[in-house]
Every structure is written in C-alpha cells, then in structure tokens.
Structure 1
Amino acid sequence: MEDDQYTSDSGSELSEYWIDTFLGIKGHEYFCDIDIEYITDKFNLTGLNEQVERISQVIDYIIDETDVSQLTDELREIYDSNARVLYGLVHARFILTPRGLQRMMEKYKKADFGYCARVHCQLQHLLPVGLSDICGVCSVKLYCPRCEDLYNPKSSRHAMIDGAFFGTSFPAMFFQQYPHLQPSHPTERYVPKMFGFKIHEYAKLARWQEQQRRSLQKRLADRGLETINTANGYVYPEDDDDEGDEEMEEQS
C-alpha cells in the first residue's frame, strides 16, 4: 500500500452515489454510513492490504478518484467486488469509534437489526456480531442483550453478509459506551406442563438417561463396536472385557 494518505472531496457525487448504492442494497440495512475521512485515513487501513487486492485503486474507486469510463467491464466488476469487501472491513473498525457507535445506536433504537424471537425477551432489539474477524469464516449473527444468546438472521439476504464486517467486539463495546441501554435479564422461564400440571422430575431424569444411552450407543457404533448388555440403562461393548482378559493372561 502506498504511503501517501488518500484525500478526496467528501461532497463528490460519485462517492456518495457508490456508498448510497451500497447501503441501499436489500440486505445491507445492517451497515451504517462511514465517513469519507475515515476511509481515506491510511492509519485506519493498517493490515487490510493483505486481505484486499489493489487496495490503492479500490480506495480511489470508492472515493471517486477513478475514471470509471476507462475501465473494462471485467475490471470494474473486480473493483466493485473488492470495494464491497474493503468497505465491510473498514466498517468493522469504524463502528468501534465514537461516531460509528453513535450511528449504530440510532439504528439499534429503530430496531434495524430486528427483534429477539424468544418470547420472554419481549421483542428486545438485537445487535449484529461476527463470530470471527476474518472474512469468509462465518456469516453475521444477531446478539440479544437480554437473553445473551445468538440467532441467525431471518432473511436470507442478511444471512449472506460476512460476520467479519461487524467483528467480534461490537456488542461489548456498544454497551460499554451506552450502559444505560443494557436491558435487564428476563426472570420468566417456560415450564413444560401436561394438562396444566408440571412434568414430574423423574420424567425429566428418565429422558436424560435415555438420551445419554442413545448417545453412547452412537459413539460405540461409530467406532465399529457392537452394543449389548443394556443392564441398568448402560451399554457396554461386547468384546472389551474379553480383550482385556486375554492381555492379562499374556502378560502373566
């Protein structure tokens, strides 16, 4: 990457057009608008040249320093694809800054990221989060600060967004900045009942034991071992004891 700091007129019609077009794509509602000055500051791009090819040209493409009319359709497609990746990676860094957190807070209040599907969370607003800071590892997930669990986006358009474009630290940083927005944990829990009566604890224990038995059977079957002797709810491999006895006899 060149050492020169990139500069551009933030009022450029094409730069606004590209960013507005990117943000206007269906499924990109999770993204916020990044300041042009932030994108053009080389300090904020540290290390990204290893993840985005032709980063100098891509930045020029985003900020309207490229004569698009001189590009072939193939090259323009390459620039546009790289520009989307670069914008996403810079976005993950921008939303950890005060200005970025402010813009994401406005989107959070408007529930742009959706609501928690859990009934007892009472339509709690969600936040986007990545499970990795590396592109291509996992798609974006949604974090509920009330039940503190993760959910997949309902829309397939949102599910295609890379989680690295939001990073693994965003929700924690968000509530560090805005602790007053941290909701209280739900106190209600769903209790399974039959005809209005709670299920007996012994029934839960029996279901758990059956689940453990089937799990053990599967593990033994995966290893090619037959399963017999199901006394007391446990399953033992048929030949393990015999093999152990033979080894003891040989050693003696």
Structure 2
Amino acid sequence: MSRRNDYHTLPQGEQSLQDEEAISATGEGDEEMEDAVDQEEGYSSSTPTSTLTWISWFCSLPGHEYFCEVAEEFIEDDFNLTGLNVMVPFWKEAMEMVLDMEPDEDTSKIPDVSIVEASAELLYGLCHQRFILTRAGLQAMVDKYEAGVFGSCPRVYCNGCNVVPCGRSDLPGTDTVKLFCPNCNDIYTPPSSRFQGVDGAFFGTTFAHLFFQSYRELAPAPFWKPASPSSTSPRSSASSSSNQPAFVNPNPYGGQKRAAGKVYVPKIYGFRVSERAKCGPRMQWMRLRPENPDELDLVDWRGRWIDDNDHYEDDEEHIDEDRPMEDFDPVRCSG
C-alpha cells in the first residue's frame, strides 16, 4: 500500500511547468499571477492537492468541533481495533480512506464512494471513542476543555462551568452526543443543532468521568459552604469573590476546584413552596452538597449515616432469607 498523492503537493518539475504556463497565459488577469507567486513562495492552496489528511479534514467539518485528531499510529495498531471489523461495513475500504492509503484491488470492485465515506466516519468515531481514553487522547481533550470548545453548563447556578461531551451508550446509532457538567453531575443537549447529527457512541459513557478522575484539578469539590447572610448583595458578593483565598481541598483525591453549590428554591410571594405539595420541588437533595469535607466521612459506603448501634450484617441476613409470597387476591382474602 502506498500513500495517496491526492493530498500532497505536485513534484517540483511539474509545479514549475505549471507556474510557467500560468504566467505565460493571456487573458487570465492578475489573479493567476498572484497564485503563481504564492506557489513559488511555498504557500499551500485549499485544493485537494494540499497536504490536508482525511482525519484533519473530518475534524475541521462544521459540527465536528468536539472531535480531536486521532493519531494514525493508534489506528494502525490492530490491538486498538479489536472487535471493530464486525461493526463497520466495508472495513478495508474504510480503513484505506481514513489512513489515505491507495487501494490494492481494482477500482471497479470498490463500492459507491458515499457508502465508503459513511463507513469511514463510523470507523473513525469508534476509534475516537477508544483514543480519548488513552493518555494522549485525554490530554488532547484537556486542551479543548480549557479553551471552552465544548461550551458551558446551561444551569444558572453552575456559574458557567465548562462541560465535556459524552454519550448515553457505547453502541452507535443509539443516541446523539450529550454534554456532561461536573458541577451538577447532569447531562444536557448541545445548544446548537449542528451537533445533533453527531453520534454519542463516538465519545462513549466512560470518557467524561474518567476525564475528571484523571484531572482532579478541573473537577469541583464535593462540598460547598454557602455565603454568609451579610454578603448577599451583588457588591459584597463581587468584593468577597475577589478577596477569597485560593481553594484547597484537604482530600487530595477529591475535586480541586471551588464548587458552585447554590440550589434554586421556588417561592410564591416570598414563601417557599413546600416539598410535600403536589406542585412542590422534587429530588432537591441531589443538588445539595455538605458544607465541609468532614461530613463526607459521616456516611458509609451505602450512603447511610454511620451509627455504632446499627448492625448491617443482620440486615443483610434478614433480606437474603426466603419468605413466602404475600397473597393479594381480593377474592380469596374476602372469602
């Protein structure tokens, strides 16, 4: 297999010959003269003869801003492609297109180009799902995250926290890409419609959480202390935020960024809506955070408050015991 010459510049002899023809042509105007000068000075054009690879072209398309460029060495390694050959139709042709390789077989045996392009997009997306889980892939996504390429959380009380792309399934064709917020731990639909055609499987269900496990300095801390009542005004809050000391999490394994933990409280004429009301707020506890890291140690692995009087082993034995099924037949109960 050899590299395609479509994405590379012409040889020096042919390029000089074309330059002489463009300069000697009559009636072409000054534009061809400028193009010839640009080619002599070494400027690359936007035509298919440029050095643009298929991977760079694919990542530069509108709506593909979330993708990073997968290294060709990663795609060429057969170990990284285990199990993908049964998921991608026209596997060989798609691989040749992604890697810009010349096909070995006769061109008459190659199917329609549009079909191969769809297979190449599927192949690259599945390779992208695995690449962003590696050290190099995570670092490439960190650069995009810090630059704000993925956008920010639409929730008001997250204060514009940056988000990362994720998927709800690892199988292609299930759902489109979503955005995960590390502050509220929820997912959202991208605000632009151009991302609605991107498959969520190209990012997978693991990347978003492995990303913040690997770079804890970018993740918010699991605790948050509300501000004092005296600093409720905008001026005082602005001055206090500027004078706040640098945030330090005593737990080195937790998030190393100050969290935004304010929770919206629905009110009517200044009175809070009761949680027991039919129209009251639900599941508000999912947004709440403890005020200090010491409170995190007061809960066991089950999420229960630690108490010396509780005996969880007895509860487990009682739950595991078989017991007769209750009969709720109203006819038999009445008789």
TM-score, scaled to structure 1: 0.73
Identity within the alignment, %:
40
Cα gap change, 1:97 to 1:247, in 2 (>3 Å): closer
Number of the residue aligned with 2:276: 205
| Cα RMSD after superposing both structures | 2.9
Match of 2:212 among 144, 150, 175: 175
Q: How many angstroms apart in 2 are the aligned matches of 1:122 and 1:91? A: 30
Letter aligned with residue 101 of structure 1: L
Counterpart in the other structure of 2:293? none
Question: What does 1:223-238 align with in structure 2 at a 5 Å threshold?
Answer: none
Higher relative contact order at CA 8 Å, sep ≥6: structure 1 or structure 2? 1
Going from structure 1 to structure 2, the CA distance change for 1:109 and 1:7 (only over 3 Å counts) comes to farther
Instruction: Provide the secondary structure at the position in 1 that maps to 2:115.
Output: helix
Name the CA distance, whole Å, in 2 between partners of 1:122 and 1:71.
57
Distance in 2 (CA, whole Å) between partners of 1:76 and 1:245 is 68
Q: 2:17 — aligned with what?
A: none
Aligned to 1:119: 156
The separation in 2 between residues aligned to 1:109 and 1:40, in whole angstroms, is: 29
**Amino acid of the residue matched to residue 189 of structure 1?**
V
Using the TM superposition, give the Cα deviation of residue 70 of structure 1 relative to its aligned residue in structure 2, in angstroms. Answer: 4.1
Output one character per residue of 1:87-118: Cα deviation in whole Å (capped at 9) or x when no partner: 00000000011110010000001111111011
Q: Deviations over 1:132-168 (max 9, x none)?
A: 1111111111100011111111112212211110011
C-alpha separation between the residues in 2 aligned to 1:192 and 1:77? Answer: 52
Out of 193, 198, 209, the residue aligned to residue 267 of structure 2 is: 193
Per-residue CA deviation, residues 173-215 of structure 1 (Å, 9 max, x unaligned), is 112221111123432111112233333x3xx423269x9xxxx
Establish whether residue 110 from structure 1 lines up as the match of residue 147 from structure 2: yes
Contact 1:129 1:167 in 2 (8 A): yes
Structure with the higher fraction of residues in helix conformation:
1
Larger Rg: 2
Q: Distance in 2 between matches of 1:92 and 1:247?
A: 57
**What is the aligned partner in structure 1 of residue 90 from structure 2?**
54
Structure 1: gaps of 5 or more residues: 1-5, 212-242
How much does 1:67 deviate? 5.5
The secondary structure found in structure 2 opposite 1:147 is: coil
How many residues get paired?
A: 207
**Structure 1 residues 121-160: aligned runs within 5 Å:** 121-160=158-197
Q: In structure 2, the residue corresponding to 1:82 is in which secondary structure?
A: helix
Q: Report the Cα distance in structure 2 between the residues aligned to 1:122 and 1:72, rounded to whole angstroms.
A: 56
Cα pair 2:157 2:260 within 8 Å, conserved: yes
Unaligned runs of 5+ in 2: 9-47, 222-258, 283-328
Distance 1:71 1:18 in 2: 22
**Please, what TM-score do these two structures have when normalized by structure 2?**
0.56
